[in-house]
C-alpha cells in the first residue's frame, strides 16, 4: 500500500500529539496524586449507619460561632433536608453519599462540590445574611435528580 508523503506526515504528527497528550495527562494524574473530589477521607458507603457523623446527620455545635453540618446526599434527597443555622455562624459541611455521585451546592455561597460514594467531602461557609438558601444537587443522579433539593434557614 502506498501512503502519500503528506498523509504520512499528518499521521506522524497526529500520533505524536496523541502520545504527548497521554503522557501529560498521566504526569498530571499520577505525579500530582489527583484523586476523586472527596478530600476529607473515606467511609464505607454501606455502613453510614455505624458512623456517628452520618447516623445522626444535622447541625452540631463545635465552639462559639462554629458549627459542623453532617449530611448525607442520597437519591433523591438530602439528610437533613432543612437546616437551621444561627446568623453569623461559620459552618463546615461534611457530606457523603451511600449510592451514586451527587452534587452539593448552596446557592449564593461558595459551597459547591461533588459528593462521591465512599468519600467524604468537606466545604465551609460563613452565613452573615439571614434568609433562606437553596441546597441543590448539580450532578445528574437519576430519575429524581431535578427534585433533589434542601433548604438552609439562617436566623
Helix or strand run (H / E) with residue 91? strand 89-96
Choose the binding region for ligand CUA from 20-28, 32-40, 55-63, 132-140 (rule: CB under 6 A). 132-140
Shortest gap between Cβ of 103 and ligand CUA (angstroms)?
6
One of 72, 141, 152, 154 touching ligand CUA (CB under 6 A):
141
Q: Which of 105, 112, 118 is nearest to 51 (CA)?
A: 118
Choose the binding region for ligand CUA from 6-14, 27-35, 117-125, 134-142 (rule: CB under 6 A). 134-142
Decide if residue 92 touches ligand CUA (CB under 6 A).
Answer: no
DSSP 107: T
Q: What are phi and psi of 139, to 5 degrees?
A: -120, 130
Choose the binding region for ligand CUA from 22-30, 57-65, 119-127, 137-145 (rule: CB under 6 A). 137-145
Q: What are phi and psi of 39, to 5 degrees?
A: -95, 0
Shortest gap between Cβ of 1 and ligand CUA (angstroms)?
51
One of 83, 137, 152, 154 touching ligand CUA (CB under 6 A):
137
Q: Which of 53, 103, 52 is nearest to 74 (CA)?
A: 103
Residues in CB range of 31: below 8 A, 6 or more apart: none
Say if strands 102-106 and 58-63 run parallel, antiparallel, or are unpaired: unpaired
Number of shown-chain residues binding ligand CUA (CB under 6 A): 8
For residues 64-83, which are near ligand CUA according to CB under 6 A? 76
Please give the residue ranges that form the binding site for ligand CUA (CB under 6 A): 76, 102, 137, 139-141, 145, 148
Amino acid at each position: 500500500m502506498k501512503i502519500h508523503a503528506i498523509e504520512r506526515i499528518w499521521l506522524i504528527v497526529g500520533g505524536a500529539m496523541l502520545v504527548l497528550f497521554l503522557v501529560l495527562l498521566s504526569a498530571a494524574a499520577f505525579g500530582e496524586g489527583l484523586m476523586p473530589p472527596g478530600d476529607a477521607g473515606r467511609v464505607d458507603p454501606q455502613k453510614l449507619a455505624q458512623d456517628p457523623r452520618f447516623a445522626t446527620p444535622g447541625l452540631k455545635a463545635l465552639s462559639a460561632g462554629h458549627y459542623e453540618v453532617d449530611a448525607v446526599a442520597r437519591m433523591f434527597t438530602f439528610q437533613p433536608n432543612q437546616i437551621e443555622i444561627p446568623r453569623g455562624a461559620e459552618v463546615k459541611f461534611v457530606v457523603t453519599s451511600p449510592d451514586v455521585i451527587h452534587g452539593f451546592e448552596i446557592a449564593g455561597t461558595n459551597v459547591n462540590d461533588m459528593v462521591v460514594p465512599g468519600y467524604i467531602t468537606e466545604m465551609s461557609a460563613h452565613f452573615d445574611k439571614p434568609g433562606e438558601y437553596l441546597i441543590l444537587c448539580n450532578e445528574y443522579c437519576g430519575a429524581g435528580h431535578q427534585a433533589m433539593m434542601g433548604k438552609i434557614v439562617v436566623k
